[in-house]
A and B are shown apart, each in its own frame.
Chain A
Amino acid sequence: MNNRYAIRFGKDGYIKYTSHLDLLRMFKRAFKKTGLALCYSQGFNPHPKMGFAQPLSLGYSSRCEIIEFETRMPHTTGEIMEKMRSEMPPGINLISCIELDEKIKSLAADTVAASYKIWIPTNQTEEALKNALKTYMEKEEIVALKRQKKTKKMEPVNIKNMIRKIEIAKVGPFAMINAVLDCGSKSNCSPELIISSFCLHCNINSPRYEVEIERTELFFVNNLQF
């Protein structure tokens, strides 16, 4: 038995302003409270074995966050859900819990894509938006500026091949984009790149803080489902 589990949860409301690290600490305390003892790493500074499949940017809400962890003793997924649910702050909604197969190395390594809903306020019509998206996707290269990790400089990157699927509709005062993007260590495209390059492409000037983003699904190799 390896006692490895993953919980899927949603992040909604003010709690979306909780960073990756803060949320990790919150879960660490929750595990401690429930008495679901986690395995600790060996070494000088032992850490509990747990982690998120993919970090989520500050300010994004989500329906598909996943935390994987390893417990010292076996538990039923029902027991884990019940105990953890009562320790969550408002806005963190636990959706499901599964046992992880031994074959799965880590969900973080196995993530390949993520889907997002993006709401951008605009007064453009649906027709105009659909046309804009068409010409956007027909471009030979879709260039967005991305901050390089090492140099901290903004460098142009071509994100065209990282967009797996993209649709647009007008919902109320918003252009609503549904996009499936590469996500994970091999190839990763942040929705920020779509927002900046698409808004530039079709002349939407809404400030970034008026844009709302929700992650709706994570996709893994072998089509693992939650």
Chain B
Amino acid sequence: MDYKLDKLLKRVEKPGRYIGGEINSVIKNPKDMDVNFCFAFPDLYEIGMSYLGMQILYNVLNKKNNIYCQRVFAPAPDMEDLMRNESIPLLTLETKTPITETDFIGFTLQYEMSYTTILNMLDLGNIPLYSKERGNDYPVIAAGGPCAYNPEPLADFIDLFVIGDGEEALPALLEKYAECKKANMNKQDFLKEACKMEGIYVPSFYEPEYNPDGTIKKICKLYDGAPHPVKRAIVSDIESADFPVNPIVPIIEAVHDRAVVETFRGCTRGCRFCQAGIIYRPVRERSKENVLRLAKSQLVNTGHDELSLLSLSTSDYSCFEELAEELICYTKKENVSLSLPSLRIDKFAFDVLSKIQEYKKSGLTYAPEAGTQRLRDVINKGVTDYDIFNSIEQAIILGWKHIKLYFMIGLPTETYEDLDGIADIAGRIIDMNYKINGPKGGRFNVTVSVSNFVPKADTPFQWESQNTADEFDKKHNYLAKKLKIKGVTFNYHDNKTSAYEAVFARGDRRTGRLLYEAFKAGARLDGWTEHFRSDAWERAFDLSGIQADFYTVRKRSFREVLPWDVIDCGVSKKYLINEAKKALEEKTTQDCRFGCTGCGMNRYVKCAMDGILEVNASGKGALKDE
């Protein structure tokens, strides 16, 4: 045991965050490896350990004899202060190796508000922040994950991005690194090799040129061999892709402490605000047998007492009913609780939920996203008033006492009528309960949670204007008044972080300066209300000269060169433009399981779900007979 570290651990909250040694964590001798990789999650241990992507990559990498994947998370502020005072650098969990002694550090980009934490982690590792300041002696700094689809805010700090699915691209990249290392190539030459691989974007090989109005004129290549655009890496056969059956089991409690199986990747619904719905296309399913096998082996290998399925829309899995029934049966027998997130609330869901007792306690969650049918058509959220009220009525009849509703405000074309619609839905649910359960029906409540719309790259709304902080304020106040209904609780999201998130979601390379200044001014762990420092951010905006409105409020034209045009997410820009136009005409686009909608994904990969459904007599989708 490291004596210096031990003394620190005695002084911090939750020292278990920093100790490693979990069941199924992997110990190898770093000296025997060709490549020492460090998976870095820019948030606290409890958050990072709940992330399935880390388990997937940890598993595929550590299966290789010549590669060692270790983990590192952001320390909490109390630990960070001690580390800085005692000059202890950021260490890997597994072998307590200073991260700067590894070959390769890979940050996962799950949310924009974690970016300052990335800089802080590099700094705690005694690694220069800017790529150009890091010579051959420093590890290669890489990043991947959903936010990498607009990599530009981080372009000056990160040597290379892995765009798309990581479970094949990352091992291939590290093997390439091992080769280059053996051939004594320097970092620059390695990057030249790497950029030829699928999904690899090396930002230093490109340079944006700007127009006088601040928009991008063009993206210039600085190295001829670099691709433009960079095509995203896609795992085309997910059934045979490696999935962990031995996930690491945290010793201290993580946010989600459970066995998790990804049933499918991608989504066919095409909600126009949703980035995940675009960047994970096409839908790729694991077979039911495979899901069951993975679930069982994970439970056996971890001893977890909870199992959850993961996907963007649980009920869209094509043999969901059979799978759910088999899992309910198995988990009951094994004393394991089953959790089915983002379930579409229909008759089958109620049958399932009534068999999983815990659900009534936690309440029923429903996400209409917008208050009126008109606006739901704009965003292509395929849910009608009838769907909402019918489901919730059934829930109330079946005894649910707590209904949670999720909405977004600031969506394109939104008016105060749409906000009235939110209050109207909440009010009608309260009335409905009164009608069903009477005045003595006992406690019943509806929680309305409203988040602020943040336009994201690679969505049909990527050109749209975000509301100003003032507009959001007015809307929050308006809703707060409207939602003063007995039994209704109203929650909303902070305006500042929504704006900062929006700056980076569509930011260009120049916003990196803002990030740097924010970090210098002390911003980190910005996703945590208790750690968020608006003074640091205000200072950073002043010093960097970045005008937030240019990135948030300004509406872009379809002709504008977007910072992330250098990345090809697979869905064509033509499709996104067409969807953006249809949104303004309040026209919906069908779920592509009813027939291809032409997103362009099938230029690169086969869409197995294209047109598998047809509308049946009851107006719902049913699997076509082959």
Query: Interface residues, chain A, CB within 8 Å of chain B?
Result: 13-15, 17-19, 22-23, 25-26, 28-33, 40, 58-59, 87, 89-91, 208-210
Contacts and interface: CB of A to CB of B under 8 A. Distances in A.
A32 B20 contact: no
Contacts of A31: 303
A33 B300 contact: yes
B10 A209 contact: yes
Given A28-B303, A29-B249, A210 B7 contact: yes
B305 interface: yes
Contacts of B16: 17-19, 22
A210 B7 CA distance: 6
B588 interface: no
Contacts of A59: 9-10, 15
A33 B301 contact: yes
Chain B interface residue count: which class?
20 to 34
B443 to A, nearest CB: 19
Contacts of B304: 29, 32
11 contacts: A15-B19, A18-B251, A22-B16, A22-B251, A26-B23, A26-B251, A29-B23, A30-B303, A87-B303, A89-B22, A209-B7
Given A15-B19, A17-B19, A91-B21, A29 B303 contact: yes
Contacts of A32: 303-305, 335
B318 to A, nearest CB: 31
Nearest to A38: B335
Nearest to A48: B335
B474 interface: no
Contacts of B23: 26, 29, 87, 89
Interface of B: 1, 6-11, 15-16, 18-23, 249, 251-253, 300-305, 335
Contacts of A40: 335
For the complex of A and B, the 3 pairs showing the least CB-CB separation, nearest first, are A29-B303, A14-B19, A17-B15
A215 B490 CA distance: 50
Contacts of A28: 303, 305
Contacts, number: 67
Nearest to A17: B15
Given A17-B16, A22-B252, A209-B7, 9 more contacts: A13-B1, A14-B6, A17-B15, A17-B18, A23-B251, A28-B303, A29-B303, A58-B15, A91-B21
A19 B11 contact: no
B19 to A, nearest CB: 4
Contacts of A25: 253
A75 to B, nearest CB: 17
B251 A89 contact: yes
B10 A208 contact: yes
A14 B1 contact: yes
Contacts of A14: 1, 6, 9, 19-21
Contact of B302 (A29, A58, A91, A209): A29
Contacts of B19: 14-15, 17-18
B543 to A, nearest CB: 38
Contact of B252 (A18, A30, A208): A18
Contacts of B21: 13-15, 89-91
A73 to B, nearest CB: 15
Contacts of A19: 16, 252
A209 B1 CA distance: 15
A190 to B, nearest CB: 16
B78 to A, nearest CB: 12
Nearest to B17: A17
Contacts of A29: 23, 249, 302-305
Nearest to B5: A14
Contacts of A33: 300-303
Contacts of B18: 17
A23 B252 CA distance: 8
B332 to A, nearest CB: 13
B323 to A, nearest CB: 23
A32 B336 CA distance: 10
Contacts of B15: 17, 58-59
A92 B593 CA distance: 52
A22 B249 CA distance: 11
Contacts of B8: 209
Q: Which of A28, A30, A58, A209 has the most CB of B within 10 A?
A: A209
Contacts of A209: 7-8, 10-11
A59 B535 CA distance: 36
Contacts of A87: 23, 303
A50 B460 CA distance: 55
Nearest to B7: A209
Contacts of A22: 16, 251-253
A209 B15 CA distance: 13
Contacts of A23: 251
A18 B15 CA distance: 8
A32 B301 CA distance: 9
Contacts of A30: 303
B165 to A, nearest CB: 30
A40 B334 CA distance: 13
A208 B10 CA distance: 8
